[in-house]
Amino acid sequence: MSASKDAPSKARPGHPGTNDLGKALHGWRDRISPDTVGLPAGGVRRAAGLRREELAQLAALSVDYITRLEQGRAISPSPQVLASLARALRLSEAERTYLYLLAGQPEPGPGHISDHIPPGLRRLLDQMNGAPLSVHDAAWNLVEWNRSWAALIGDPSALRGRERNLVWRHFTVLPGRVRQTPEQKAAFEATTVADLRAATARYPADLGLRSLVKDLRESSADFAGLWDSGIVGTHQAGAKTIVHPEIGTLTLDCDVLVAAGSDLRVVAYTAAPGSDDAARLGLLDVIGIQAMA
């Protein structure tokens, strides 16, 4: 007599069916305080760590999926999900490796883009909250930001998938607060297209990157034309004009830095000390992402 298809299968040692994955996720979630990741710690909490909905927000996943993972009802999460969880939970390299092992997924190799944030860069983000900072991977996916950046550019917590990709947002004309002159637009497009072309050479096995380029070519004639032209460019410091819905227009210096020992790009916005823009930036740091009364 054959077993019912609904009968639970016997879990193998080390397989997610033992719920080791759920226990690890719960433990990592419990050790992170909300203020560490820029979230308010209001309300009554049964534990000092993150709530499931807060982890879901940080990892751009649904609360239901986080619940199913922790309860062992969801197995074999994708590498993309694991990368988001590792980043949101601030895992060390050893912990990140363990996460992939528990999930039964191979850790991304040299041919794949990494979004792992080294401890030194993590400290920089935590300690420089007065300056808007964001971190992007080699394909210009937004992987981290601080509270000042969210207040300036807009809270990206609700964005999913391609909505968090800087190049996709630009060439598909998704709404944003940055305003560009024709010259700034041309320079930005040249450098980002050149960046993606270089990334495809460095990460030949990254299917997400190749899918992004393919979809961009199909969605944007401007991108396709630049890609086919072989245009090259390099990032340089420049000014960015940002229209904020509450405090008006700011003109800020924008610098793109490459984090040592990684392919992560740190975008920093600053203003000259004593300037009107510096005063506006200081006000923005006070009000955060909450609208002014």
pLDDT score of 210: 94
pTM (2 d.p.)? 0.76
Pick out the chain residues at pLDDT < 70: 1-18, 38, 40-43, 129, 233-234, 236, 289-293
pLDDT score of 58: 85
191: left (phi over 0), alpha (psi -120 to 50) or beta: alpha
Distances (CA, A) of 183 to 6, 149, 189, 205, 234: 62, 24, 10, 34, 15
pLDDT averaged over every residue in the chain: 85
Which DSSP symbol is given to 114?
-
Q: Cα–Cα distance between 35 and 49 in angstroms, integer?
A: 10
pLDDT score of 8: 40
pLDDT score of 82: 92
pLDDT score of 42: 66
pLDDT score of 289: 63
Domain boundaries 119-287, CATH class? alpha beta
pLDDT score of 152: 94
pLDDT score of 5: 40
Choose the CATH number for 16-102 among 1.20.140.10, 3.60.21.10, 1.10.10.10, 1.10.260.40.
1.10.260.40
Q: Cα–Cα distance between 76 and 87 in angstroms, integer?
A: 18
Where are the CATH 3.30.450.180 domain residues in the chain? 119-287
Q: Cα–Cα distance between 45 and 251 in angstroms, integer?
A: 41
Where are the CATH 1.10.260.40 domain residues in the chain? 16-102
For the CA atoms of the chain, what is the radius of gyration?
A: 21
Helices (H), 71-162: 79-88, 93-102, 119-127, 147-153
